[in-house]
Amino acid sequence: MQKNTTLGEFIIENQSDFSYSSGELSKLLNAIRLAAKVVNHEVNKAGLVDLIGNSGDVNVQGESQQKLDVFANKTFIQALNNREIVCGIVSEEDDEYIEVIGNNYNNKYVILMDPLDGSSNIDVNVSVGTIFSIYRRVTPIGTPVKSEDFLQKGNKQVAAGYIVYGTSTMLVFTTGNGVNGFTLNPAIGTFYLSHPNIKFPEKGNLYSVNEGNYSHFPQGVKDYIKYCQKIEEDRPYSSRYIGSMVSDFHRNMIKGGIYMYPSSFPYPKGKLRLLYECNPIAFIAEQAGGKASDGYTRILDLEPTEIHERTPFFCGNKYMVDELENFINKYS
Ligand code: P6P
């Protein structure tokens, strides 16, 4: 695929790669593309209008909702609702799943998303991201969506991706045939294929973790961090942590590295949510030749029981995650 192919051309030319698609998956990706442009426009001018700061509400996670969180959530839900593509939506910002009534429940897909991850960074002009995960529903078409449509293992995803609103805005996604990155040309509002077939580099030297929580980490994670910090000839590591997982993961996938959010205080099960943060990023990581686990089990094989459940999350170059798991397993 030629660089500078537009996202629209890419979707049309790769339609056959989208398993199960009867054009609905393409429409779904196009809806995401539109919503991403709208959110990008607001993120880029947030400092200029009254969209910064708390909305005054608190989301299901007990986290104060930034106004852009609320705006992004509404924008993606409207884009998905108006096209009668999905039969249900899970969002980090909503306690319960959202049933999409149109089309007499005949839509085949469900989508789970974090509409604006890392939003606590908005007020300080640090990059944020949107994460999405797409499944084919498992309950009969023509019936109302049910929770089991959302509580599927990550290995059942048909597509997953993220938008990173950074120095440039990129949409990165997979449908199970590799990972491709598209950069937005804001002057004309078009995403162009800028990073075809993204793969982790063979070696990585970045580790991303909030070391402020070090004292609460499991011993194996502490040992791995010390291993990263040991100054040895051939392994000069660098610590890079933005506090926005999409940005940390994106950098690590391009340059080589590992992102870690272990169980710690006050997150005994980890902070990141399995369904709409870890599963989509894990799908992308594996498609790019990387690995994602909870320290013991492949993230994509975890059996979800609750739509907002959390998990410890370790994701990056395969050999780096393998090394980390070896340290953790010394204590199990
Ligand atoms: P901490 C953002 O809230 C997020 O979910 C991830 O994007 C980010 O990596 C992490 O939490 C930051 O959490 O506890 O290090 O501030």
Residue 300 CA, ligand 1 centroid: distance in Å = 20
Q: Give the class (CATH, top level) of 206-329.
A: alpha beta
Tokens of 136: 């084919």
In the chain, residues under CATH classification 3.40.190.80 are 206-329
Ligand 1 mutation pick, 121, 123, 216, 244, max ligand atoms within 8 A of CB: 244
Distance (angstroms) between ligand 1 centre and the Cα of 244 equals: 6
- Residue numbers in the known binding site for substrate are 117-120, 210, 241, 271
- H-type helices in the chain, by residue range? 7-13, 24-45, 67-81, 219-229, 245-255, 279-287, 318-329
CB count in 10 Å sphere of residue 26: 18
Atom of ligand 1 nearest to the CA of 212: 15
117 lines ligand 1 (CB under 6 A): yes
Atom 4 of ligand 1, residue of closest alpha carbon: 118
pTM of the entire structure?
0.94
Instruction: From 59, 69, 114, 117, give the residue whose CB has the most ligand 1 atoms within 8 Å, as the site to mutate.
Output: 117
Domain 7-195 has CATH 3.40.50.1950: no
- Which residue ranges in the chain fall short of pLDDT 50? none
Tokens linked to 211: 């070391």
How much is the ipTM here? Answer: 0.98
pLDDT in the model for residue 274:
98
Domain with CATH 3.30.540.10 in the chain: 7-195
φ, ψ for residue 231, nearest 5 deg: -85, 105
**Distance (Å) of CA 238 to CA 141, 212, 231, 257, 302:** 50, 16, 11, 9, 30
Mutate to test the pocket of ligand 1, among 120, 162, 245, 281 (most ligand atoms within 8 A of CB): 245
- Indicate the pairing of strand 98-99 with strand 86-91: antiparallel
